[in-house]
Chains A and B, each alone.
Chain A
Amino acid sequence: MKAPFSSYLNGIAPGLKELIALLRGRYDYVSVLSTDSVGFTVAISQRSKSVSRETIATERGTVVRVYKNGLYAESAFTGFDPANAKETFESITRELDAQLRLMNAAGVKAYETGILPDEPRTIFTEMETGRLPEEESISSMVDKLSAVSDQGMKAGADQGLKLIDFQVRACSTHVCKMFLTEHQDLRQSYTFSEGMTYALVAGEERTDFAYTSLSGRKGPELFDHVEDKIPEVLRIAKDLVSAERIVPGEYDVITAPEVTGLIAHEAFGHGVEMDMFVKGRALGADYIGKRVGSDMVTMHEGALCVEDVTSYAFDDEGTPAGDVTEIDRGILRSGICDALSALRLGVQPTGNGKRESFSHKVYTRMTNTMFDSGTSTLDEMIASIEKGYLLEGMQSGMEDPKHWGIQCILDRGYEIINGKLTGKVVSPLVMTGYVPDLLGSVSMVSTDRESFGSGACGKGHKEWVKVADGGPYLKAKVRLG
């Protein structure tokens, strides 16, 4: 079925067009983004249950962007009355004028920027979904997740694990966004869902947790087989309670697809967000056309490069979705760019202008960030390592686009000696290094690849948005602590 576009947004569209016309009398460029996204979160464990009709992306509101005299300004609000656009117009101009007076009084100069183009464009997209979150039976979802939690506890006990709890979490969102200008009318509707199974396990000396995730540009049907995740999360829990601390040092490693994705995200995801180029905050700006990795490294970024949670039709500035080849066989080719940064840099926007919500500013943000596949099998890669680790499970990462340092906190390392897994597990792990060294050391790439969209990404330490990343297994050399 198709995810139907919001009747609320259709209903306020004429009023918003009237608002745009009023604002065009004062400003040289006006755009409006209105959102009406609904969903649910169901979290079930042995100790507590919760249901909320909210997710990270549910919202309803409007943001207006205006331009005059080289300067952009925005006003975000709720409660738009389509029958009274003039009142909203007066409220917007009153606040923005007061801000300008403050700027002028403080002697602040504008960072002058050109005007955004407003070529005629129409998009109306209702993407396919199995089911809709707003129509999902919550009772069935609670029953299903409760059964999975019970099964997880029982299976854990059968395996001799001391499970404290087994949690299952399901979030599903139906996104509807409408972008309007004087000449553009873009409307999109799609669903995405993400979930997690989570085992809290008591070891000899400490309590630890294991998790697996699932995600997709799908409706609640994503959770139809969530019980299939039970064996994997219990395997991880078992590995964690027997894990030892690693001896710090530099090792040959194989990164599992979720770790590969974290590297992609931190290394040349944030590193080539081109609003950072505008501010002179990214070393990547000086490396376009230069080598940043081995011949085996090819990386793509874009809403179209894989289908996952952020595979939209257009971004929050009305730029159609793209697929950018960031690194081609080790050579940095391009960054990703929001519309204002593109104007400032004299390049084309890539469909990566995103907001945390309608009430937040646009920044250049990632969508799907993926390494391309290679030609090796995982067995061949393991066999090639004399002493090292197979790295699995990601916890968090942080980049330094100015200095190309990278930090990845990982869950587990499986020891490899003389080309074979020994069964020894180390945890947790801090992987650090210099990005070109890390990518330059990539010497084998597996044939398969996978994307993961259950996490959220911050810009600095704020502005959380949905992203997906992933890739194949990579063989590289890294520092572990």
Chain B
Amino acid sequence: MADMKKTALDTLLNVLKTSGADAWEVADEEEKGWEFYFIRHSLDQHRAKDVRTFNVKVYKKFDDCLGSASASIPSDATEEEMRRAVEGLCSDASYVRNPFYTLNKPCQAETKGQAENIDLEAISGDFIRTLASIPETVTEDLNSYEIYVNKITRHFLNSEGIDVTTVHPSSMVEAVINARKDGHEIELYRMLKAGTCDREQLTRELKETLTYGRDRLITVPTPALDKPDVVFATDPSVELYRFFASKLYASMVYRGMSDWKIGDMVAPENLTMCSVRSLPNSSRNVAYDEEGAPIRDLTLIDHGKAVSYMGGRQFSQYLGMESSFIPSNIEVIGGTESEADLRTGDFLEVVEFSDFQVDSITGDIAGEIRLAYLHQGGKVTPVCGGSVSGSFPELLKTMRFSKESRQYNTMLIPSVTRLQGVTVTGVDNA
């Protein structure tokens, strides 16, 4: 089987080398996965996956332009199918002319800490046992859950001589929590991604969700509030910090979707954001990015000032960056206040939204409140309903964040973030 796999890739490489393409990239991607679906704690279905594809991109040079076209070629394609597909791409590429740029060249990455043995059976067993042991009660329990355990192997080659392989685990648990009281039942949803099963982390997350489920049942409708401070301390916080990252992508800047410039103050003056090569148990701890560039530690925002863009080869070169890469993990630091400091006075701490969003172009934030804690005059009241909205770029001026951190898979961010003067539409806003 191994020989057959090598033959298919060799065949494709030969086709590319004789195709007339001026440059090319191939990613031989293989995903082996085990999946388990539970209703309550009974097994609904189990699945195995073994999927392989060749993602190919070919380039044609024209004076000061570069044409390109891409396709996913089935791993069982015949040589004739491969040849036809690549010929088609060469033709397509000649019509798609962008300003010239060069492909990445071989460069050794730091590979320390990369995953070695990825045992789908062992990781699956860890997840199954952990989820079976979540401390449920008569009134709060797991409705259903899905376990996905994947081993992802990516062999990347290009015409400049890059030939690198990354192997990493990528797992996910989707869990639905129920809570009930006096005949009324609600649910909360979690999609938790990680490299492998971290029993403590997973248990902590789900226990916290069970507590939120209990509190959701004793909520009152969110009242009309006059531009309160809003505190974020659960996964919607990620969207706030992802906004900073998205604005620094070279593709966003080049295409006019971000007007952030290097040297500009773009964030609170104590905020520092870095791309980091790895985070504990992240599902994206890989040594090379999708285009074969080494992933490294890089400061993107230094004490509020934008200091570097990031992203793929094409748009990074357009912005004059020669050694960029597509980051996998992000860390945000610099908070000087404690979680407790940020939870003083009157504020609304929203822990559950239907779907909290931060628009990467406008920075508009929006989300329906499913559970929040209203802190007013020393009293704490669980509330639900209504929505949070506003302009994050405007709210940034008053943004405060904690020195303590919390990791959400690929994002290590301040555990508590507080925004001042947020628009909250209460259920009483009639």
Contacts and interface: CB of A to CB of B under 8 A. Distances in A.
B220 interface: no
B51 A47 contact: no
Interface stretch (B71-79, B236-244, B323-331): B71-79
Interface stretch (B201-209, B342-350, B409-417, B421-429): B421-429
B368 A279 contact: no
A48 B346 CA distance: 48
Interface stretch (B37-45, B103-111, B275-283, B397-405): B37-45
Q: Determine the main DSSP class of B at the interface with A.
A: strand
A361 B387 contact: no
A27 interface: no
Contact of B47 (A49, A73, A403): A73
Contact of A279 (B72, B129, B176, B389): B176
Contacts of A375: none
Contact of A405 (B85, B174, B176, B368): B368
A432 B387 contact: yes
A156 to B, nearest CB: 13
Nearest to A480: B425
Contacts of B362: 206-209, 428
B386 interface: yes
- Contact size range, A: 35 or more
A138 B91 contact: yes
Contacts, number: 252
Tell which of B48, B94, B185, B424 has the most Cβ of chain A within 10 Å: B48
Contacts of A45: 255
A139 B364 CA distance: 38
Contact of B255 (A48, A58, A96, A280): A48
Contact of A106 (B98, B125, B256, B388): B125
A460 B191 contact: yes
Given A49-B97, A138-B95, A481-B389, A79 B187 contact: no
Q: Determine the main DSSP class of A at the interface with B.
A: mixed
A436 interface: no
Interface in A387-423: 395-400, 402-403, 405-407, 409
B42 A108 contact: yes
Nearest to A112: B42
Interface string A243-260: 001001110000000000
B308 interface: no
Contact of A407 (B95, B256, B368): B368
A370 to B, nearest CB: 23
B45 A75 contact: no
Interface string A52-93: 111000101100000000011111111111000000000110
A51 B42 contact: no
A229 interface: no
A47 B128 contact: no
Interface stretch (B153-161, B299-307, B353-361): B353-361
A250 B427 CA distance: 9
Given A138-B91, A402-B187, A430-B367, A407 B387 contact: yes
Given A102-B121, A209-B361, A77 B49 contact: yes
B257 A281 contact: no
B262 interface: no
A432 B368 contact: yes
In the complex, the 10 A-B pairs of residues with the closest C-beta atoms, listed nearest first: A481-B425, A53-B71, A407-B368, A398-B355, A248-B425, A164-B256, A111-B42, A95-B48, A79-B76, A407-B354
Given A58-B72, A200-B257, 10 more contacts: A53-B92, A207-B256, A207-B361, A248-B425, A279-B143, A361-B45, A396-B357, A405-B385, A407-B368, A462-B174
29 contacts: A48-B98, A51-B96, A53-B71, A53-B72, A73-B45, A78-B51, A78-B53, A79-B76, A80-B76, A102-B125, A103-B36, A108-B128, A109-B41, A111-B42, A138-B91, A138-B92, A138-B95, A139-B95, A142-B96, A200-B255, A206-B363, A207-B361, A249-B430, A340-B45, A403-B186, A406-B368, A428-B366, A480-B425, A481-B388
